[in-house]
Amino acid sequence: MYGSSARLVATALSLTSLWATAASAHHSFNTYDMSKTVAISGTLKEFRWGAPHSSMVLVYKDKKGATAQMSLISGSPLAFSKQGFAPRDFHKGDKVQLTYHPYTNGLPGGALASLTMNGRTFSDAEAAAAIAGGAGQ
């Protein structure tokens, strides 16, 4: 009986440790250059309201004037909700202006810093906290 309880406790501690490690790794912003902020306008192609972070696909004009797409990771649904946004506020075809922290590898896209659409603005506090605490923390 005792051996079974000890195994159960060891398994629970093990799983807790794995969860904590995954949560810590998940919140890393090392993939993004948090020292840079890029402004861009475009059209929302897709918005995924989901935990732990929402994401979007933006259609925009690149430096040569060609139509291009980029993916951006954004704040959690709770962060959007706290600023008065709901899933029904995001529609394919919405015109948006946004700022983001670009990928460190130079590919289009990155981590959302702010988004303005239909006269409303969202500021990503999670990205701002990463900057304040040191990028990648």
Q: Which tokens hold the place of 12?
A: 């629970």
Per residue in 99-114, is it b (16+ CB within 10 Å) or e — as a string? bbbbbbeeebbbbbbb
> What pLDDT is stored for residue 29 in this prediction?
72
Comparison of pLDDT for 137 and 107, the residue scoring more: 107
> What pLDDT is stored for residue 100 in this prediction?
96
- pLDDT, tens digit (0-9, with 9 covering 90-100), for 104-113: 999 999 999 9
Cα(79)–Cα(125) distance, rounded to whole angstroms? Answer: 7
Cα(73)–Cα(51) distance, rounded to whole angstroms? Answer: 11
> What pLDDT is stored for residue 44 in this prediction?
98
3-state secondary structure 17-29: HHHHHHHHHHCCC
Cα(137)–Cα(130) distance, rounded to whole angstroms? Answer: 6
**The whole model's pTM is what?**
0.74
Percent of the chain whose predicted confidence (pLDDT) is above 70: 77
